[in-house]
Amino acid sequence: MVNIWTTFCGPCLDEMPELAALGREYEKSGVRIVGIVLDTLMPDGSISMSQVKRARELVEITGADYLHLLPSDDLISAKLADVNPVPETVFVDSSGNVVGRSYLGSRSGEEWTKIIDELLEDAAS
């Protein structure tokens, strides 16, 4: 589960505690939560250390204790250029293939549970 978020996105931050709980709940099922902090890359390709600091603070405040990545310019160009709005969430399998569809906007833990359970059921069949 790859959740793309920004430091200025209220709905992104609101769902982060739920995502952390889901990560713990589904760990034994092989589901991992990964966040990508979209607004840390500057137009010149450098990383904004002030945005990284803010992202770290928000991760701590929200208890989002799952892996968070900073996007490279290549990742932005190849996969993330069209991400709008945030949050956007996609599911990928262990080979990196997108599974299912892209989910725009935040969801409750209950909604994510239903989505994850359906994807796991589909993968098992």
In terms of C-beta density within 10 A (0-12 exposed, 13-18 middle, 19 or more buried), how is residue 86 classed? buried
> Domain residues of the chain, as ranges?
2-124
State the Cα angle at 75 between 96 and 32, rounded to 5°. 40
Has this prediction a pTM greater than 0.95? Answer: no
Cβ contacts of residue 45 below 8 Å, gap of 6+? 73
| Residue written as token pair 């969801």 | 107
pLDDT along the chain (125 residues), means of 10: 94 97 95 93 87 97 96 62 75 88 94 96 86
Going by their DSSP bridges, the two strands 88-92 and 98-104 should be labelled as antiparallel
pLDDT of 10: 95
Class of the domain covering 2-124 = alpha beta
